[in-house]
Structures are given as C-alpha cells and as structure tokens.
Amino acid sequence: MRGVVLTVIALIATLSAFAKTELKWVDATELGIHGHTKQTDKSPYYRFDHTPYEGFSKGIIKHSKESAGLYITFKTNSPQVSASWETSSNSMLDNMSGIIQRGLDLYIKQNGKWEFVGVGRVPVNAKVTKYKRCIIKNLPNGENEFLLYLPIWCEIKRLEIGVNADAEIQGLPSPFRHKVVVFGSSITHGASASRAGLTYTALLSRNLGIDFVNFGFSGSCKMQPQFLEFLKGVEADAFLFDAFSNPTTDQIKERLNNFVDEMVKSHPGKPLIFLMTPFIDSINSRVYKTRITRRDTAAEMMKALSKKHKDVYLLDVKDVLGKESTIDGTHPNDLGFYRFVNAYQTKIAKILKKYGIKGK
C-alpha cells in the first residue's frame, strides 16, 4: 500500500512540474533574421527601405514592410518551441489562409533535410494582432536545428521564441548559400500557398540550398523606374524575374528593353533569368485573349534580348500548373506551387551552376 501511495505522489509531482514548466522568451532579432539582401535600419522585419526612391505607391510601401520570405534559424535542446508575436492589423484576404498571412511556419532538420513540424496559428478575427502559441512539443531529447518562416502578408511588430527555462537556444547563420533575388508578382509574393514554407521561393531555397530572396510585390511588379533603380543597386549573385504577370502588354513593350539593358549594365556577368507567367486558361474569351497577347509579346521581346545579352535567359514551360492547381483561377495553391517548382527547378539550377552558384 505504501508503495502505491508513493507512486501516486511521484506521479502528481511529475504532472505538477509539467504543468508549471516555465518558458524563457528570446527576441527573434537576437537570433538573427535572414532572407534579406540587406537589412534596413527601419526594422529588421522590413524587406527593403523604400525611402531613397521617389514615386512608390502606398501599396508598394506597405508590401516593403511585410516579412515575406524572411526566416530565422536556431538550435535548441528544449522539448518544445513556442512563439509570441504581434503583427499589423491588415485585413485578412479571402483567398489565402490566416497562417500564411499572419502565422508562422516551423521546420526541423532531420537527416540533413528540412521537415515540416508545425505552425503558429492565428484566429480568424482580423482585429486580433497579438498571438502566443506552442508550435511543437514533446520533441525527442537532444539538440535540434529549426527553420522558422515569417508571415508573408503583414508587418511584424515583435517576435519572441519561447523554450523551456532550463534549455539552451542559439541563433544560426542562414543554411543557404548565395543570394538570388526573385522579383515578381503576387505569385512570387506567395499567394496562395497555405504556409510560408510552401511558396516557390521557399521551396527552391530548401531544395537547392540557395537563398532565393523574396521580392514579390502583389499586383505591383510592372518594371517601374523606381524598382529598376532599386534593383540596380541590390547586391546579389543572380536575379530571377516573374515580370510578366502584372504589367499590361503596352507596359511590357514600353519598359522591358530598357529594364533588361540597365540590369545587364548594373550587374555584368550575372545571370538574369526570366520566367514566363504560369498560363491559366480562362473561359472568359476577353481574359484569355489578353493573357495570350501579353505572353506572346513578352516571349518575342525576350527572344531578342537573350540573343543580345549572353547572361539573359527566358524559361518558358507550357502548361505548368495543370488542372485543380489554383485557389481562385489565378494564384497557385500548394499543388500549383509544387508543379511550378517541379517544372522550373532543374532548369534554374542548371543556369546557376554555370556561374558557380550551388547550394550547401
């Protein structure tokens, strides 16, 4: 009887200790924020500083402050990982999950590969901007490496990582080599993957071990003079462009030649790789005709530009997305992004390898 009593007491003590597990919170900036070409002094969570360039729209300025493509890497021996964060109060969009808009996406390194382990979920209520979540618990004993993607469609005001009070946590350098800047539309921005780790820039980074920096600007990638001036000054090993989704046919005719010529002049010897917009058939005859005309115009101009400049490339794979691969008829879902990466990854990697750009 005495043995049973002692066992019960021990069990109660164990449960009590578990219930009272204390966490320590570490500011994410102390661990290091990755995914930039250069951090601004405005905020470590901004993708770039728009202030030196005049004429950017309010929408572009807003997007410049969003954390799309940014990530944290760290190691800890804690059996659980939590997060506490605060975001801007953007309206929640109806063609994307709350997780990719304001939530967090966590991966763990196992057998040399990054594997998904959990998300920082957010409530549906768009007015709520402060969150605290346990992302993963009951991890095996020992030290683990983590990769945490930040949300793509909001501004991060504050982010802290929580681990057991007696555990160690340490920031790590980026696990990816080189810098390939990806400039593009909402598809590059990340719409409409379910999680930040499933955007095509994130998939390419993990698959190839190369840092594909997300400069997607939803609805705003039109090769504007302001973006050209910004990109001319960016330090990168290569550039990838999703440049034909947002501009009109007339804007492509007006801007493409100068855009490419100036980029070649500013980044001599570096590959400039253009991807054709994933073409999605539309039963709307007017929309279909507009897409065909824009695509044909871009393809014809790029053919001439790739002959003129040896480091300029156009990759055009037909029927990339296939059936049931978008969330709204335009933006890829997770299946669409998987097909997109599957169609282009080998071709991109082959070009980059010619310039000595390989992953870890």
- Contact between 210 and 357 under an 8 Å Cβ cutoff? The reply is yes
- Domains delineated in the chain: 21-171 (2.60.120.260), 177-354 (3.40.50.1110)
The pLDDT assigned to 120 comes to 98
b vs e for 299-310, b when ≥16 Cβ sit within 10 Å of the residue's Cβ?
eebbeebbeebe
The reported pLDDT for the residue numbered 18 is 42
Question: What local confidence, expressed as pLDDT, does residue 17 receive?
Answer: 41
**pLDDT value at residue 289:** 85
- Name the token pair of 308: 């003129």
pLDDT at 282 (0 to 100): 63
Which residues on adjacent β-strands are paired with residue 43?
A: none
**Cα–chain center distance at 85:** 18
Contact by Cβ (8 Å): 56, 191: no
Q: Which two tokens stand for residue 265?
A: 């002049």
Q: How does pLDDT run along the chain (360 residues), one tens digit per residue?
A: 444 443 444 444 434 444 457 999 999 999 999 999 988 889 999 999 998 998 999 999 999 999 999 999 999 999 999 999 999 987 889 999 999 999 999 999 999 999 999 999 999 877 899 999 999 999 989 999 999 999 999 999 999 999 999 999 999 999 999 999 999 999 999 999 999 999 999 999 999 999 999 999 999 999 999 999 999 999 999 999 999 999 999 999 999 999 999 999 999 999 999 999 886 666 667 777 888 899 999 999 999 999 999 999 999 998 898 889 999 988 999 999 999 999 999 999 999 999 999 997
pLDDT of residue 20: 58
Angle at 134 between CA 142 and CA 143, to 5 degrees: 10
Q: What is the pLDDT of residue 4?
A: 44
The whole-number pLDDT of residue 6 equals 39
**What pLDDT does residue 287 have?**
77
